[in-house]
Chain A
Amino acid sequence: MPYDLDLLDETAWRGLVDRFGFRMWAVARACGLDATDAADAVQAAWLRLVEKLDTIRDPEAVGAWLVTTTRHEAGRIRRKRAGHQLTGLVPDLPTTEGDPVARMLSEEDGRRLWAAIDTLHEPCRTLLRLIVTLPEVTYAQLAHRMRMPIGSIGPTRMRCLRRVRSLMGEEPR
């Protein structure tokens, strides 16, 4: 459904919130943020849209832009939490179009991904299930639960996700 941002009224805005808010939240949490930081990342994206309303020329891309902006903000908060020095308090904004894949966070995509995970061997199947269902789980907790060295969690996670992508029909990177 296209949005005419020149005429964006409160009803249309609420429509954007209903349609994309849960995706923005899921992306922020998938970036490893706790609930407070994830809320800031999501709100940052909405405020950037408030600031940009006069300049948006492609209403069709607003949803992807919101999701992509949330990911940028979440990444920035994550780097800050990790002790990285940031330049200024304002992040770079993503392009107006957003990440192409950000448009595709549908329930159907999720079901296909879960089906792919169900076909994985261990430890991938359990590891990915834990990562998904326990949003704030730490690598130390995963290592204990999986009885794996903590240093192998990250590489295993990466390998398992690559396997999922492969099952989804993509060549692993």
Chain B
Amino acid sequence: MTDREPGGERLLAGPADDEYLLAALRIAAGVDPVPERVGADARAAYELRLPGAILAGPLEPLPGLVADARPLAGVRSDGRPAGDEPRLLRFGADGLTIDVEVTVRDSHLDLAGQVHPLPVGGARVEIRTPHISKIRFPTESGLFATTGLPHGWLSVVCHRPGDRPVATRWQCIRQ
């Protein structure tokens, strides 16, 4: 191996030492190889690049302003779900807000959302997972929805005419 850095004698001197120490022992022991699926997903992640996109970071979700504005019983004031209620996420960047409501079903995820303000000239919303992508054209109110998404990672991208797309950070949604 060639990764010892200058100052490498400082091995195991930081706050996360125990975890790195155990990891180094595991690597040397060869007892827990990386599952093929994990490596394949890592390689496939390269295809998820979105050059030029503006990354939308998380904002505090505001219950009642999301998706089709239907009652969101059971959602607490901090936006976190109670029980199996939908999970509310809000992202924002470049003057655009993307609200996302994810309902976790046994076999899949349902997703509804809203972009606002709706970009001039319309917009195209892309709901991405590592393996599938769905395109939706939001209503005049900016609403969009889809169903049948697999559990796991997802990101919502708002493609704007003549402007850079805005992409939410990837989120992992599981039961």
> Which residues does A use to contact B, with CB under 8 Å?
10, 13-14, 17, 21-23, 25-27, 29-31, 35, 38-40, 42-44, 46-51, 53-54, 63, 68, 71, 74, 85, 88-90, 99-111, 113-114, 117, 128, 131-133, 135, 158, 161, 164-165, 168-170, 173
Contact = CB atoms under 8 A, between A and B. Distances in A.
Interface residues of B, dominant DSSP:
mixed
B31 interface: yes
Contacts of A46: 41-42, 45
B4 A106 contact: yes
Given A22-B34, A43-B38, A106-B4, A27 B17 contact: no
The 4 nearest A-B residue pairs measured at CB: A110-B28, A106-B1, A30-B22, A26-B23
A147 B8 CA distance: 38
B172 A39 contact: no
Given A89-B171, A104-B8, A170-B13, A113 B21 contact: yes
Interface of B: 1, 3-5, 7-14, 16-29, 31-35, 37-39, 41-43, 45-46, 48-51, 55, 57-58, 80, 87, 89, 130, 152-153, 167, 169-174
Interface residues of A, dominant DSSP:
helix
Q: Counting chain A CB atoms within 10 Å of each CB, which of B1, B9, B35, B46 scores highest?
A: B46
Contacts of B130: 43
8 contacts: A21-B42, A22-B33, A23-B27, A25-B32, A44-B172, A51-B55, A100-B7, A114-B29
A133 B28 CA distance: 11
Given A38-B38, A161-B18, 19 more contacts: A25-B34, A26-B24, A30-B19, A30-B20, A39-B41, A100-B14, A101-B13, A101-B14, A104-B5, A105-B3, A105-B27, A106-B1, A106-B4, A109-B11, A109-B24, A109-B28, A133-B31, A165-B17, A168-B11
A65 to B, nearest CB: 13
Nearest to B1: A106
A94 to B, nearest CB: 10
Contact of A108 (B1, B22, B45): B1
Contact of B32 (A13, A29, A104): A29
A55 B25 CA distance: 33
